[in-house]
Structure 1
């Protein structure tokens, strides 16, 4: 990395570190470009040289708070199990962390960013490659995919070769389960359901499992349960 690129990376990280401090102190909703710039010791106009808008800054800062989820993934992946059961394990891990910090996960996976998040994921992990060091190799590219549904479909491709699913069903399966999660998280955040955190997690996990059972090949259902 040349000096100019290194300096840009350092400046970018100064702003992200300041944004993280503000979120930890006052919450994601309190984040503004001006507050971040002031804390980092620069002007707002300087900050805009590194971030297109506030939503992008929030996205990058929020991703910092998903590190516990990334670190926890290996605890839910058991190689001796079928790919489909591993996928449910990933759901269990994701839901645990997602409903622990719902505003963070809403920002990363649901909030309007004014366009695609694909390049934002790639940029973040290019800046912080160490955050993926302990992630199983087959998951590294998947975690940089912006589409939640495509993340699931990419991971579930092995379930097709294992005979559990039909490739043509993957899009429907992953879209339906994704929308179950989105709906539940939005309802949880807006207090439209009187769920505790554990009740919300249980609801989504149960519904995801019910949906996937409809797509599992009949001769594999007993092994999957």
Structure 2
């Protein structure tokens, strides 16, 4: 019973600090994210906050996860557009690009920043506590999103394309890794203004290269079944 009460108290404190962190991001932006501001807003000291989060990057990571809700809510709509696994996978990438380039600093914190820890473990822990953030997604998609690695989630998603005859088994990891690297490269370019892309142009360009990468390994006799292009 004592352990149960302790866990309840810990979850309650997490919510206090994450609610405060969310407010700080909404009011001032993630660039002005400090442990002192968050602790003050939550009504505690900075030292208390550090009892629940190892460092600022962890708290920032968890807070940033809350800003993915729009993407998670819209994802099922994008998936419905596809008539096969490859189309659904491309549409899911389009949805991800749309939202990530709208909030590049948020998505950079989640998928690109150095957290000083294994991000997959932090992500898994987040969904153990805030699993309700996934309400509205089909069970199959929930399982994919809750997988430990972004590339692994992608590979799991397109696994069915092998059964459907679109892709060879040995190409799955290649495609999932390559498309993630394409997105990361464009995100880095976009955030650092190395090219003057609008968010729409960044999405369009990323999807163009994702699409070309996928079509490069699609079995030639199945290409006509892919009725989407970028």
Is 1:180 the counterpart of 2:182? The answer is: yes
Alignment partner of 1:160 out of 153, 159, 162:
162
Where structure 2 has 5 or more consecutive residues not aligned to the other structure, the ranges are none
Looking at structure 2, the residues matched to 76 and 49 of structure 1 have their Cα atoms a distance apart, in angstroms, of 40
Alignment partner of 2:146 out of 144, 147, 170:
144
Residues 204-223 of structure 1: matches in 2 within 5 Å? 204-223=206-225
Give the number of equivalent residue pairs: 225
Which residue does 1:81 correspond to in 2? 83
Is 1:50 the counterpart of 2:58? The answer is: no
Tell me how far 1:141 sits from its aligned partner: 2.1
Structure 1 runs (4+) deviating above 6 angstroms are none
Residues 188 and 195 in structure 1, CA contact (< 8 A), matched pair in contact too: yes
Where structure 1 has 5 or more consecutive residues not aligned to the other structure, the ranges are none
Provide the TM-score with structure 1 as the length reference. 0.96
Tell me how far 1:172 sits from its aligned partner: 1.1
Residues 112 and 184 in structure 2, CA contact (< 8 A), matched pair in contact too: yes
Alignment partner of 1:23 out of 22, 25, 36:
25
Which residue does 2:111 correspond to in 1? 109
Residues 118 and 144 in structure 1, CA contact (< 8 A), matched pair in contact too: no
Tell me how far 1:136 sits from its aligned partner: 1.1
Provide the TM-score with structure 2 as the length reference. 0.94
SS of residue matched to 2:102: coil
